[in-house]
Structures are given as C-alpha cells and as structure tokens.
Amino acid sequence: MNKSLENRLKLIAGDSNVRCDEPMSSHCTFRAGGTAKYYVIPDEYKKVRDVLRLCVEENIPYYVIGNGSNLLVQDDGFDGVIIEIDSALAKIEINGNEIVAKAGAKLSKIAVKALNESLTGFEFAHGIPGNLGGAVTMNAGAYGGEMKDVLKWVKVLDNEGNIITLDASELEMGYRTSIIEKKGYIVLQARIGLNIGFSEDIGLIMQMFMQKRRASQPLEYPSAGSTFKRPEGYFAGKLIDDAGLRGYRVGGAMVSEKHCGFVINYDNATATDVINLMKDVQAKVKEKFDVQLEPEVRII
C-alpha cells in the first residue's frame, strides 16, 4: 500500500472518506467482484476535481462509479482509485418545471420529487436502479423514454480537471452513449426540463412501469440489469433465448429464466463466473445467428 498516496487522498477527501482494499461486491448491484486498492467518497465538486488531478499527476488508474448498477470489478480487483459519486453528492432542487440535481441523486428519488411537484416526463426513469451521473453518461432509458428527452444542460469535470457546462445540443446522445461517455468526462450535475401534469396520472404511470418490471425482470436476484446492448434489428434477450441459453449456468452465475437479457448472481457467483458466462453467451449467439452481442455492463 502506498501510504503517501493514501495520506494525500485523505488530505483531500477526509480520513473517513478514504478506504483501502475495499470490497467492490458491496458497491455493485451484481454483489460480486474483487477489491479496490483505494476507495474515495468526495462530498464536494472541488474534492472530486482534486482527487482526479492527483490520480493524473501520479499516473494512478481511476474509475468513477455511482450506484454500481452497471459495473463488474474483476476478481483480482482494481489496482487504483475508485471515486464514488453517490449519496454525498445527491442534492435535488426544484425550480418551476425544472429539476437541478447532483450526479449522485438516485433516479427513483428524482422521479418521486417530480411526482410530488406534479411534473411529468420522468416517469420512465423511476425503476432504473442507478444514479443521475451514470444515467446521463449512458443515456439511460426505458419504456419509450430516454435521458436525452429531458436534459437541458450537464455540468461535467473534463480530463484536465476543469468544470464545464454542456448544453443539451452538445451532448451527442445516442443509444447508451453520449459525448460524456466518449470523452471520459465525469458528470457533476444536470438540469432536467419537465412539463406540468397531474400527480394522480403521473403516479399511475410510475406504478404501471414498476409492475411491468416486477413481472418481466428477475429483480429478486443481484444483477446489473440488461447485460448486453440491443443489437440493431434484434433483441438481445430473444437471441439468447433462441440460442437455447435460458437458465444456462456457469458457477453461481445464470442466464435468468424470467428474462434472458439478464445475467443474474444466482448462487454466490464470482465475477469470473459472470464474465465466463457472458463470453459463452456471446460465442453461442455469434455461432447460431452471426450477431455479435456487445456488453452493456462495464467490466474493470
């Protein structure tokens, strides 16, 4: 352990906000994976910037996470700094028919805030198990709605540690991508524009979406949601099912019998179990349908 680096991280973020050899299974919805050499929880934008600059200066690998809902850390761990932007940076403010929220705000909490203010347009995000930062970066979406439909501007930290504001027109948002993802920026805050509606209708739509999720997705098991991106002209779950892989297992990892687009931690799976299962699925689908599945889950 590099005590000098550890002490410098503590000077920036505070002693209680720096952990060493932190099990990432506690911070990823897969509930699997190795440790992070350093785990830092900044509670101010300035501290995020200073940790980033230190990592760049010392040539230390770093990775930014939120709720860990689309992430898997390999079993041999991450030999660098994990920067968590979660509950410590999660403030949500209402301004008329707009919401300004920090990157650590959970999508479900933003949706509830919108409901309470009779603001419609964010119902699609209510059941997505992630934070605003990751949702903006990957243009998260569900049930016909996407983040690109509601964003006004996004405040980010660039690779040099500068805080810049990107207008919605500059975000280049597409299917599970954005300029933020392409350039490796870190989301700090975003403004969401919504419309005035009726709280009863908004609540009913949110309830309907959650019922659909519970009925069709294996929410009772740890997973990272949809494991693969949707190939153009196909649905990943149907391809996997048609390849005969429903219920296919590697160790404790399994293709969900409820929804084949989900790989689940069925029985104390390791990250290696999950990764090997994903490789098997990709190979089988490629062999049978000549379609290359691309992981939606990020593996580090």
Q: Which DSSP state fits 221?
A: S
DSSP secondary structure of 134-148: HHHHTT-EETTEEGG
Rounded CA-CA distance 246/240 in Å is 7
CA R_g for the chain: 20
Contacts of 147 (CB under 8 A, 6+ apart): 125, 135, 136, 139, 140, 141, 173
- Token pair 């909490």 in the structure block, residue: 109
Give catalytic residues, as residue numbers. 176, 226, 296
Q: Which amino acid is at 253?
A: A
Residue with tokens 């932007």: 85
- E strands, 134-265, are 141-142, 145-146, 151-157, 163-167, 186-193, 195-196, 223-226, 249-250, 253-255, 262-265
